[in-house]
Amino acid sequence: MGKPTHLYIIGNGFDLYHGAKSSYADFRRYLLRHNVNVVKSLEFFFGPRSLRNTVERYSEFRWYTEDFKHLRIKAPETEWAHLFLWKDFEGYLSSLNREKLFDMLEWYLPRTKFQERVFQTENYQKAINKILSQIDLCTFEMRYQFHKWISTIQFARGYKAKLLDVDKDAEFLNFNYTTFLEDVYGISPENIKYIHGSKRDKYGSLILGHSQDYQKGLDEWIHKNKNRKRYRRNLRNQKGNYYGNYKLSYLAYFMGSSSEANWITEDRYNTVVDVKDRIEDYYQKNFKDSTSIICNNSEFFTSLRDVESVTVLGHSLGVVDHNYFKAIIDVNREPQEVKWTFSWYRDEDKERIAKLKEKFGLRNVNYIHMG
């Protein structure tokens, strides 16, 4: 078989077009039935507001963070999660709130020197475990449930009436984890590159994550917060008296070494360091490194050098995936001659197509409505 001249790029809109319940909002509904604690952690610890601005009472805080899975209670949906999180789930995996997690840690640690003297070392580990359990819900458990959910997705009844006329001899760059191209359209597995894995892969291996470079994201967060009142070196109480800032997020990110601040005990210092390391580890492990993915699949991308037409079906064209489009263009022998066809469903899809067209200098662009 010669080099492919036609490439399809398949996104989640392709599955949605056939009636599959494959949106991230559908994933949330699945989690509510199978592990409501994942939803609580994602909606509580992601987003811009600090924990102490989110809850007023310890009882409310416990509702979010303790295991009430056996109670069939609807998880409260925060306004930020409703407006943003589930509409761009992967993109917002970069918004795990450092401040909220350290505020949570403060709930569990002693708040006075007297309490500190009677606080046992093992209680510090219990406090650490509370934080780690929330991070695990947002990572390992979320990914496990995500894979289980993917395996349940089916096309809606009557999907055959909506089947598209697809070139079965073309190459397919599939961003979906489902196997509908094989099972329904009869495309040979040899012609499909599941760039982020498929539901048939082992649990834990599906690629899911944000596109924000870890160090850049941390630097931006520190720069954004360094002048906030809660991160000043000295704070003032209601009487107008100043006192040293002992907020754990301040000590973790703005003070530096243990000798620079009154940590009270070495256990307290070690606890903050351990939690900080785990939080930053989250950001690194949930980074979707598209550069490495492309490198690891270099043979596939090199094979696309003679592609003459690219058909993009149901892809959101999110920034997290722009590097893949760049790789396709860069490897092509005559990129300006390639015919691009993009599907669209809503007007905002056309806007994203226009931005991609401008960003990569695409000349020959056509639109097809897929509704």
Q: What is the CATH number of the domain that holds 361?
A: 3.40.50
Give the residue carrying structure tokens 């669209």.
Answer: 344
Whether 1 is in a domain gets the answer no
Q: Which domain holds residue 339?
A: 6-21+156-208+289-369
Whether 304 is in a domain gets the answer yes
Whether 337 is in a domain gets the answer yes
DSSP 8-state code for residue 369:
E
Cα separation values, 87 from 34, 64, 97, 238, Å: 21, 22, 18, 41
pLDDT of residue 82: 85
Q: Is 262 in a helix, a strand, or coil?
A: coil
- Final residue before a domain boundary, out of 266, 285, 304: 285
pLDDT of residue 207: 95
20/177 Cα distance (integer angstroms): 13
Residues 226 and 356 in one domain: no
User: Tens digit of pLDDT per residue, the chain (371 long)?
Assistant: 568 999 999 999 999 999 999 999 999 999 999 998 899 889 889 988 776 666 666 566 666 666 554 444 555 557 888 889 999 999 999 999 999 999 889 888 886 666 676 778 788 899 999 999 999 999 999 999 999 999 999 999 999 999 999 999 999 999 999 999 999 999 999 999 999 999 999 998 999 999 888 899 999 999 999 999 889 888 888 888 988 888 899 999 988 665 666 677 888 888 999 999 999 999 999 999 999 999 999 999 999 999 999 999 999 998 889 999 999 999 999 999 999 999 999 999 999 999 999 999 999 999 999 97
pLDDT of residue 71: 46
Give the residue carrying structure tokens 């899911």.
Answer: 208
Residues 30 and 105 in one domain: yes
- Final residue before a domain boundary, out of 236, 269, 285: 285
pLDDT of residue 77: 59
- Final residue before a domain boundary, out of 237, 260, 285: 285
pLDDT of residue 109: 86
Residues 103 and 197 in one domain: no
Mean predicted lDDT score pLDDT of the chain:
89
pLDDT of residue 247: 87
211/93 Cα distance (integer angstroms): 9
Residues 185 and 41 in one domain: no
pLDDT of residue 246: 84
Residues 12 and 91 in one domain: no
Whether 177 is in a domain gets the answer yes
Residues 53 and 87 in one domain: yes
pLDDT of residue 2: 63
Residues 225 and 353 in one domain: no
Residues 192 and 309 in one domain: yes
Digit-coded pLDDT (tens) for 55-80: 666 566 666 666 554 444 555 557 88
Whether 106 is in a domain gets the answer yes
Positive or negative torsion for Cα 134, 135, 139, 141: negative
Residues 50 and 163 in one domain: no
Long-range Cβ contacts of 28-33 (<8 Å, 24+ apart):
28/86, 30/145, 30/149, 30/152, 31/142, 31/145, 31/149, 32/74, 32/75
Digit-coded pLDDT (tens) for 75-96: 555 788 888 999 999 999 999 9
Residues 36 and 112 in one domain: yes
Digit-coded pLDDT (tens) for 261-297: 667 788 888 899 999 999 999 999 999 999 999 999 9
247/209 Cα distance (integer angstroms): 30
Residues 38 and 120 in one domain: yes
Whether 268 is in a domain gets the answer yes
Total structural domains in the chain? 2
Q: Is 344 in a helix, a strand, or coil?
A: strand
Strand partners, 171: 7
Whether 107 is in a domain gets the answer yes
pLDDT of residue 56: 60
Strand partners, 312: 9, 342
Give the residue carrying structure tokens 């691009």.
Answer: 340
Residues 40 and 117 in one domain: yes
Residue 233 phi, psi dihedral angles, 5° rounding: -65, -40
